[in-house]
Amino acid sequence: MSVGVIVLGAGKGTRMRSDTAKVLHEACGRTLLAWVLGTVEHLDVERSIVVVGHQAESVTATLPPGVDGVVQEPQNGTGHAVRVALDGFGSLPETIVVLPGDMPLITGEAVSSLISHHRAAGASATIMSVELDDPTGYGRIVRDGDAVSRIVEEGDATEDERSIAEVNTSVYVFRTGALVEALDQITIDNVQGEYYLTDVIEILDARGDRVTAMTVAPELGIGVNTHAQLAQVSDVLRRRITSQLLDSGVWMLDPQRVYIDATVTIEPTAKLYPDVYLTGSTTVAAGASIGPNVEARDTVIGAGAVVKQAVMMDALIGRDALVGPFAYLRPGAVLEDGSKVGTYVEVKGSTVGAGSKVPHLSYIGDTTIGENTNIGAGTITVNYDGYVKHKTTIGDRVRIGSDTMLVAPVIVGDDALTGAGSVITHDVPEG
């Protein structure tokens, strides 16, 4: 039985008070929309369509290959959005799954179970529901025995209906033919003056179609409408990420104080200490020790490396390298195997060769340092003349004395030595 997916991503997210489209807000390194699309990656889906509206071009630009965007204009409610999406399918699949684009905690397993429940029940529509202690603001599931008779929105609910704890998550599975027929009957006779997708449920029930609901854990149904809810789902996702890493063999002293994007890769036996932030495409190899107090973005950290109290962006840390405490590695910093960048050292666009050391109080910019070289405390590469940045090259086994100024462009040859306090303005020959 063929399955198509519709993701509703047209909303502005007014309560976010943000210039960014709601579904493009990020949680643990992925947009809300990307999390939702990830739930159907491993399902047998014929086609996925995202309904876009607010900032349509920006949202469409983030869609992965194989996922299409259709524009809802004007935005006349969720029922209208689904109708627009159905027009984009061409040949309609037999089953339609509808997902909100702002519900990142939903899992592929839950969606798969909902589809199975729907098919087993022989239903025209199946709703994913949750039970909440405080259902305020959510559409209530009104039942007639085991069947669902309708969904009533908060603004249209009676006092008795507002007391219902079971609420709609806005995740549905429909028999496509029944959905199309019911959409033709919905009206804008409601508080918002919009076409509610929820009205389809009452229409199907009234004509005798079977409508069911499957209840899931409450956290799966959390949608994001405010920054408080964004923080809430981010916390849940972060706990999922750390739990998976712990199970894989990553050691953490205090998992509640480690922040890891879903896009980060960490190998078993790596160690993470408190207040570590790993984001972007960062990778941490086996046996590396990170933290405390480390921020790494888009950085590769080699096996056995030790990093303490450091900020690193677009850097490459080799095997058994040492970083910190209080080091700053800017984009293009490369530390080869066994090298060291120590206390209060900033490295930008530079390579520190294997076994070389920059132990403390230095700025290394646009520089290549060879192997087994030592850079004395207070060394500065003077790489900018006010117009252009110039390159410094330091060879193998060089000893740069403390408080040396290397005025680029300049080359220091292999085995050379500079005295403390030197100002190097010309090339230094091999020693």
CATH number listed for the domain at residues 227-424: 2.160.10.10
Can you give the residue ranges of every domain in the chain? 3-221, 227-424
pLDDT tens for 171-203 read: 999 999 999 999 999 998 777 778 989 999 999
Decide: 335 and 356 in contact? Cβ < 8 Å: no
3-state secondary structure of 148: strand
Task: Return the active site residues.
Answer: 360
Q: Which residues lie below 8 Å from residue 388, measured CB to CB, with a gap of 6+?
A: none
CATH number listed for the domain at residues 3-221: 3.90.550.10
Decide: 7 and 48 in contact? Cβ < 8 Å: yes
pLDDT of residue 188: 85
3-state secondary structure of 94: coil
pLDDT of residue 174: 98
Kindly report the pTM of this predicted structure: 0.92
pLDDT of residue 186: 94
Q: One fold for both 3-221 and 227-424? A: no
pLDDT of residue 13: 87
pLDDT of residue 194: 86
pLDDT tens for 370-400 read: 999 999 999 999 999 999 999 999 999 999 9
pLDDT of residue 56: 93
**Nearest-angstrom CA–CA distance, 341 and 360:** 7
Q: In the predicted model, what is the mean pLDDT of residues 196-218?
A: 95
User: What secondary structure does DSSP assign to 298-348, as a single string?
Assistant: S-EE-TT-EE-SEEEES-EE-TT-EE-SSEEE-TT-EE-TT-EEEEEEEEE
Q: In the predicted model, what is the mean pLDDT of residues 145-172?
A: 92
- Read off the DSSP letter of residue 384: B
Pairing of strands 306-307, 294-297: unpaired
pLDDT of residue 218: 96
**Nearest-angstrom CA–CA distance, 347 and 334:** 9
